[in-house]
Amino acid sequence: MTLEKITALAAPSGLFVMGAFHDDAGTLVLLGADRGCWPIFTQAAEFSDGQPDPLDRWSKRIIGGIAADLGARDTYPSDGPPYAPFIGWALQTGRFFQSPTGMMVHDTAGLMISIRGALHVPTVLALEGRAASNPCESCADKPCVAACPVGALAEDHAYDVPACKAYLDTEPGRDCMSNGCKVRRACPVSVKFERSAEQSAFHMISFKG
């Protein structure tokens, strides 16, 4: 088994290996949504069946199938409480970092991070090369810092969720609701990993609740 095999199994569903690290049980692999995931998901039964949490249910079906093929165990961010430490796992891969906003940033996805699940593979796999550095360190302008129209991301990285959600109910907030978080969109790395407006709106509706 190799990371390349996992990549090959995940790619037809628009998923990719966002990072991996060795643990006591073997290798933990994080799978996330690539740019091609949205059109695949919208054709799935879960998207249109009217039941709650369509993306979580789709993710569990797809990643659960990959886990079964590999003899691996699968875990999801939505499972809990207690919830698995996905943020800690992400940082352990060496491909996720803290951005100046306090949000995690990924070396290729930027702030457009959508981790859909983890595979616990009972084998020590050869790992891909780690990112040389936090991409934010080479970003001179750091447009993400001033992008939030309500300052919900404070200097101490305390995210003011109520202020953010309240803004989304306003007329100016419709841009964030329709096109996605301005902070995430401002990241130069995220621009290369752009989402459609439809996908961004789906995530914002889920966030707002």
* pLDDT at res. 8: 96
Name the residue ranges covered by the structural domains of the chain.
3-125+134-208
* pLDDT at res. 131: 59
* pLDDT at res. 46: 97
Whole-angstrom CA distances from 81 to 4, 93, 161 are: 32, 24, 20
* pLDDT at res. 187: 95
Q: What is the pLDDT of residues 97-120, one digit of tens each?
A: 999 888 899 999 999 999 999 999
* pLDDT at res. 194: 80
Q: Cα separation of 107 and 204, whole Å? A: 23
- pTM of model > 0.85: yes
Q: Which residues of 8-20 are buried (b: 16+ CB within 10 A; e: fewer)?
A: ebbeebbbbbbbb
Q: Cα separation of 13 and 116, whole Å? A: 12
Q: Which amino acid is at 21?
A: F
Which DSSP helix (H) or strand (E) runs through 206?
helix 197-208
Confidence category of residue 159, pLDDT binned at 50, 70, 90? confident
Q: What is the pLDDT of residues 29-54, one digit of tens each?
A: 999 999 899 999 999 999 999 999 99
Check whether 156 has a pLDDT greater than 70. Answer: no
Q: What is the pLDDT of residues 186-202, one digit of tens each?
A: 999 998 888 888 999 99
| Sign of the torsion formed by the C-alpha atoms of 108, 15, 68 and 57 | positive
Segment 166-185 shows an average pLDDT of: 93
Q: What is the pLDDT of residues 131-153, one digit of tens each?
A: 567 899 999 999 998 899 988 77
Whole-angstrom CA distances from 174 to 57, 116, 130, 150 are: 28, 26, 38, 13
Q: What is the pLDDT of residues 49-100, one digit of tens each?
A: 999 999 999 999 999 999 999 999 999 999 999 999 999 999 999 999 999 8
Which phi and psi angles does 133 have, rounded to 5°?
-165, 170
Q: Which residues have CB under 8 Å from 49's CB, separation 6+?
A: none
> How far from the centroid of its chain's Cα atoms is residue 175's Cα?
21
* pLDDT at res. 209: 77
Check whether 129 has a pLDDT greater than 80. Answer: no
Q: Cα separation of 47 and 142, whole Å? A: 35
Check whether 158 has a pLDDT greater than 90. Answer: no
Q: Cα separation of 140 and 152, whole Å? A: 22
